[in-house]
């Protein structure tokens, strides 16, 4: 609250923040102080799923003006390297990323950001939808990497926020059938509401048994599996479940080392792909939201003012609801 209002540079904009979603990574940094090689060494502002209103533009900014409502892409390359030149700027080793040490996030009243990574929201797209573009982008990037297309049969492992956006995007991209697994009955119900054709509540089945259940409900093995938990047993189930010649995309992040049936994948030519965040997804997501072809509004189950941020983080930590949204602008009630 006492931080000075930053001054935007020539190619930056100053934003009055509106909606900021809480991500599992935010909670992980708060609880554990690190994710893999990214270690919190100094105080850090959290938040990277965000939207706000432009209040000031730098001298070199021409596509935005004060009063514009924007969604913020949190990853900004610092230099034009080989990854940027090939369009895969998310892989740039020097990328700035909100709320990844040592870079501050945007869970605050005022925040400055590269203007090129702020995207104007159409009038019929809300601030909350703008903030949800960040998790939605993970689904867009994962489904593109997976090769989801007309008629695909897809297995989504995990029904948290990222599993749910993958269901939404897979159906949008033409998947004929999507099956979702999770431990939680309530989360599986949400998966149904956003478009899943089948759900399987996992209790204590072996990975092979889970794979068998997936095949049973689909009537065949899925060509594509999107693994959103990072849990070793779920990755194993993903390999066993995927049809020979199919693709398994690893979205969820768990332990650095996991034991998987790699020979099973290798001899059946199951392609295992990773994803790192996303790239080139904001324009796609905005077009989908503006055309009302997809609906992400059901994902937001809790809302808190910025003053109750700790309560909001505790709610997320306990796994309650789906997406917790913080409201940073007390004067604006527009969702």
- Structural domain contains residue 311: yes
Is residue 270 located within the same domain as residue 162?
yes
Q: What is the domain-level CATH number for residue 116?
A: 3.90.180.10
Helix (H) or strand (E) holding 303: strand 300-305
CA dihedral 229, 180, 304, 279 (to 10 degrees): 60
Predicted confidence (pLDDT) per residue in 229-279, tens digit: 999 999 999 999 999 999 999 999 999 999 999 999 999 999 999 999 999
Is residue 154 located within the same domain as residue 270?
yes
Is residue 60 located within the same domain as residue 182?
no
> Is residue 2 scored above 70 in pLDDT?
no
Q: What is the mean pLDDT of residues 158-163?
A: 97
Predicted confidence (pLDDT) per residue in 274-331, tens digit: 999 999 999 999 999 999 999 999 999 999 999 999 999 999 999 998 999 999 987 7
The pLDDT, as a whole number, for residue 335 is 47
> Is residue 12 scored above 90 in pLDDT?
yes
Q: What is the domain-level CATH number for residue 228?
A: 3.40.50.720
Is the link from the previous residue into 5 a cis peptide, with omega within 30 of 0?
no
Is residue 90 located within the same domain as residue 159?
no
The pLDDT, as a whole number, for residue 19 is 98
Is residue 103 located within the same domain as residue 185?
no
Please check whether residue 241 is in contact with residue 155, taking contact to mean a CB–CB distance below 8 angstroms: yes
Residues 128 and 19: their CA atoms lie apart, in Å, by 6
- DSSP reduced 3-state for 151: coil
Is residue 108 located within the same domain as residue 47?
yes
Residues 190 and 188: their CA atoms lie apart, in Å, by 5
**How many structural domains comprise the chain?**
2
Residue-range definition of the domain harbouring residue 185 = 142-274
Any bridge partners for residue 200, and if so which? 181
Residues 297 and 288: their CA atoms lie apart, in Å, by 13
Residues 293 and 170: their CA atoms lie apart, in Å, by 13
The bridge status of strand 177-182 relative to strand 198-201 is parallel
Is residue 97 located within the same domain as residue 46?
yes
Is residue 105 located within the same domain as residue 149?
no
- Structural domain contains residue 1: no
- Structural domain contains residue 58: yes
* Of the candidates 173, 163, 152, 193, the residue with the CA atom closest to the CA atom of residue 288: 173
Is residue 205 located within the same domain as residue 312?
no
The pLDDT, as a whole number, for residue 334 is 52
Tally of CB atoms within 10 A around 62: 8
The pLDDT, as a whole number, for residue 3 is 76
Residues 78 and 277: their CA atoms lie apart, in Å, by 16
Q: What is the mean pLDDT of residues 56-80?
A: 98
Alpha-helical segments (H) within the chain: 24-32, 82-85, 127-146, 161-172, 185-193, 207-218, 232-241, 262-267, 282-290, 309-317
Is residue 270 located within the same domain as residue 153?
yes
Is residue 253 located within the same domain as residue 301?
no
Is residue 156 located within the same domain as residue 259?
yes
């Amino acid at each position: 609250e006492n931080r000075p209002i930053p001054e935007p540079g020539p190619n930056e904009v100053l934003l009055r923040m509106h909606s900021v979603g809480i991500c599992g990574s935010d909670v992980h940094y708060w609880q554990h102080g690190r994710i893999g090689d990214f270690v919190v060494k100094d105080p850090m502002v959290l938040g990277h799923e965000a939207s706000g209103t432009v209040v000031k533009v730098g001298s070199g900014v021409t596509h935005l003006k004060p009063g514009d409502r924007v969604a913020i892409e949190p990853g900004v390359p610092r230099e034009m390297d080989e990854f940027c030149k090939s369009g895969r700027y998310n892989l740039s080793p020097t990328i700035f990323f909100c709320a990844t040490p040592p870079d501050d996030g945007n869970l605050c009243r005022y925040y400055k950001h590269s203007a090129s990574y702020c995207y104007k929201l159409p009038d019929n797209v809300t601030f909350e939808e703008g903030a949800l573009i960040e998790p939605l982008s993970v689904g867009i990037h994962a489904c593109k990497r997976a090769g989801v297309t007309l008629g695909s049969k897809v297995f989504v492992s995990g029904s948290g926020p990222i599993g749910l956006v993958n269901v939404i995007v897979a159906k949008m991209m033409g998947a004929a059938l999507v099956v979702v697994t999770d431990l939680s009955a309530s989360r599986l119900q949400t998966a149904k509401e956003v478009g899943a054709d089948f759900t399987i509540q996992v209790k204590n089945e072996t990975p092979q048994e889970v794979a068998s259940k997936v095949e049973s409900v689909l009537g065949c093995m899925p060509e594509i599996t999107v693994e959103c938990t990072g849990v070793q047993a779920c990755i194993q189930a993903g390999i066993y479940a995927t049809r020979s010649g199919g693709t398994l995309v690893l979205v969820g992040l768990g332990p650095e080392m996991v034991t998987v049936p790699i020979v099973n994948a290798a001899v059946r030519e199951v392609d295992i792909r990773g994803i790192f965040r996303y790239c080139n997804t904001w324009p796609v997501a905005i077009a989908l939201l503006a055309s009302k072809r997809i609906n992400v509004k059901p994902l937001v189950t809790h809302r808190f003012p910025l003053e109750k941020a700790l309560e909001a983080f505790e709610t997320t930590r306990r796994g309650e609801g789906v997406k917790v949204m913080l409201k940073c602008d007390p004067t604006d009630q527009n969702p």
